[in-house]
Amino acid sequence: MTSNAPTPSRAVLAGHGDFAAGLASAVAQITGRDDVFTTMTNRGLSGEEIAQTMRAALDAGVRVVFTDLPAGSCTLAARRLQRERPELLLVTGVNLATLLDFVFSIDADVEDTEMEDATTRVTANAVEKGRAALTVVGRTGTPGARGAA
C-alpha cells in the first residue's frame, strides 16, 4: 500500500478496514498526490503486529501519524511508539479536510523553516481545518448535532 513515488512519505495514515486506503485515494483524486501518506489497516492483525507494521511505516523518518479513532488499536500502537520517539505527533479522529490541508501545507511550509517546528505547526493547522469542516447542514437546533466522539 506504500506509494511508489520517489519522495519519502510525510505521514502514516492508519485505521480500521479500508479507512486509510480510502482516505488516501480521496486525497489522490482531489490533489493528484499519492506520495504523502503511507497507509495501513489493523484488519486481521494482533496488537503486536499492528505495532510492528506501524514501526516499519515510521522507519522512513515520518514524524506524523493520523488515525481514525481515539480508542483504536492503531492509535494505541502510535502512543506506544511515542514513548521511544517523543518527537512523533499523533492526530486521532482524522478526516479528509485535515489531510487535504496537511498535503497542501507540508512541503511549502516545511522546506523553508526548521523541520520539527514547521511539521508541528502544519499539523496543528490541518487539525483546525478538519475540525471546522465537521458541521451539520440543515435544520439547526437539533440536540446532539455535533459529531460523535
Partner 1 sequence: MPLELYRIDDRLIHGQVVVGWGRPLDIRFIVLVDDEVAASEWEQELYRMGVPPEMEVFFHDVGDAVAAHARYVADRRRGILLTGDIDTMRRLVEGVRAATPAQPIETVNLGGVHHRVGRQSKLRYVFLTAEEEAALRALQARGVTVTAQDVPSARPVPLDDVLSGRAGT
Binding-residue total with partner 1 (CB under 8 A)? 21
Determine if 84 is a binding residue for partner 1 (CB under 8 A).
no
Crossing angle (nearest 10°) for helices 19-31 and 96-111: 60
**Residues 6 or more apart whose Cβ sits within 8 Å of residue 67:** 14, 15, 74, 75, 78, 90, 91, 92, 93, 94
> Which is closer to partner 1, CB of 42 or CB of 105?
42
Q: State the minimum distance, in angstroms, from the CB of residue 124 to partner 1.
A: 19
Find the Cα–Cα–Cα–Cα dihedral 124, 130, 132, 133, rounded to 10°: 170
Given 18, 49, 87, 128, the residue binding partner 1 (CB under 8 A): 49
Sole window of 5-13, 32-40, 72-80, 131-139 interacting with partner 1 (rule: CB under 8 A)? 72-80
Given 76, 81, 88, 96, the residue binding partner 1 (CB under 8 A): 76
Determine if 112 is a binding residue for partner 1 (CB under 8 A).
no
Radius of gyration of the CA atoms of the chain, in A: 15
Q: State the minimum distance, in angstroms, from the CB of residue 57 to partner 1.
A: 18
Interface contacts to partner 1, rule CB under 8 A: 16, 42, 44-50, 68-73, 75-76, 79-80, 83, 149
